[in-house]
A and B are shown apart, each in its own frame.
Chain A
């Protein structure tokens, strides 16, 4: 049905809620020079419309998958090796996120130069929000929708 070609080696992030694809792409793409394909508003039997992201020769680590779950809590991730789906899994919203995101509050102690405080968030659900364990601020999606892989 699709103009999107199959990939031989890499990652397919499927069942991203329609419209969230660009954010997820920005998040996971990193500095890869291999092909990255984003398909938007694809009809899905399960969820109406969805976005699909294919990354050739890229495998995502656990920290990155945690970040994907913030934007696309229902996404599935397929790891493709030699044209076969080697592993299929659902992303899972973690209860906390540590070390991968900076706090969005510039005054937060974690953003002060040379202070040894590693940013740490409690993940609040429905809707997904992040509460900084240091400054106590709660951040809605508008803050983390544009995050990039550190």
Chain B
């Protein structure tokens, strides 16, 4: 089935087969980037990049992806300079962009904006994050990272068989919830490591093989996914002060880790991973950020119809 014209709005719309297809096509893009082959599959195509709230990393990653494929970009990166300031609705801005371009990437502060955009546009829409709701390309690049950085497996993917430890704010962390939802399509088990106040909500734990603890004990983990604990989440500052040093990845924690485990983080980090850990080959968070480019290249090529069944056409 072709993905031409498909919107990428929510991770909940992805089937197991969809995830495998993204993994496969992203790998294809990684190979092409490694070889340094100049690509022109999206030559003559325009991407509208509509950032109703700023997000430098997501924007740069999408722009790099489009340009690597030979395409061009129009759009805005700051709502203060956009027509929104003049009172135009999101829906109208999308309709206009849809008439100008072949694919739309939207970032928006209001949850549900990406679905509205998809309904308003005639061209495919990719959600680059809509408020507290969804950020599907982050989750897809997280999966690509695990697939690429874990040792080759005899299963269908290198993700299968992994024990994934989530560390930090598991209650409010959108990235964590979304990745956990996606991983239910693979043969994975979970370890949820968080302070009591920030435990993983029940609905994400349901139907999974998991353990839960507030001790940072990682010796049995294959993938460690670290997130930031924000001060604002605590009713009392003293609680935050008490906990802030508890879930920090330092050299001692790395010494406990398996040799082939990987440590991931959606970035930016504050102090939850010490910079002294960065040179450890198991610390893959900067590679993870890099994988955002080939993953988004694959998605852009798929929804515009330039890439089918892993072939560049």
Genuine A/B complex: yes
In whole angstroms, what is the CA distance A114 to B112 when docked? Answer: 14
Question: In the complex, A110 Cα to B91 Cα: how many Å?
Answer: 11
Flag whether B10 is at the interface (Cβ < 8 A).
Answer: yes
Report whether B10 and A109 are in contact in the complex, using a CB–CB cutoff of 8 Å: no
Q: Do A115 and B134 contact each other (CB < 8 Å), given the known contacts A109-B90, A136-B111? A: no
Given A107-B132, A117-B119, CB of A112 within 8 Å of CB of B110: yes
* Chain B 97-138: CB-based contact to A (< 8 A → 1; otherwise 0): 000000000001111110110011000000000111110000
**Cβ–Cβ contact A135 & B116, under 8 A:** no
Residue A133 interfacial (CB < 8 Å):
yes
A87, chain B: closest CB distance, angstroms: 37
**Who on chain B is nearest to A132 by CB?**
B112
- Min C-beta distance of B300 to chain A, whole Å: 24
**Given A107-B110, A109-B110, A135-B131, are A114 and B115 also a contact pair (CB < 8 Å)?**
no
**Separation in Å of the B82 CB from the closest CB of chain A?**
15
Q: In the complex, which of the residues B91, B112, B119, B120 contacts A108, with contact meaning CB atoms closer than 8 Å?
A: B112
A residues 69-121 with Cβ under 8 Å of B? 103, 105, 107-110, 112-117
**Contact B111 A135, beta carbon cutoff 8 Å:** yes
Residues from chain B with a CB closer than 8 A to the CB of A116 are 89, 91, 116, 120
Complex: how many Å from CA A103 to CA B115? 15
Residues in A neighbouring B133, C-beta threshold 8 A: 135-136
CA distance A107 to B108 in the complex (A): 11
Q: How far is the CB of A132 from chain B (nearest CB, A)?
A: 7
Q: Which of B89, B90, B112, B119 contacts A135 (CB 8 A)?
A: B112
A108 to nearest B CB, angstroms?
A: 5
What are 23 A-B interface contacts by the 8 Å CB criterion? A103-B112, A107-B110, A107-B111, A109-B90, A109-B111, A109-B113, A109-B115, A109-B130, A112-B110, A115-B89, A116-B91, A116-B116, A116-B120, A117-B112, A117-B119, A132-B112, A134-B112, A135-B110, A135-B111, A135-B131, A136-B10, A136-B112, A136-B134
Instruction: Please list the 4 inter-chain residue pairs (A to B) with the smallest Cβ-Cβ separation, ordered nearest first.
Output: A134-B112, A135-B111, A109-B112, A135-B112
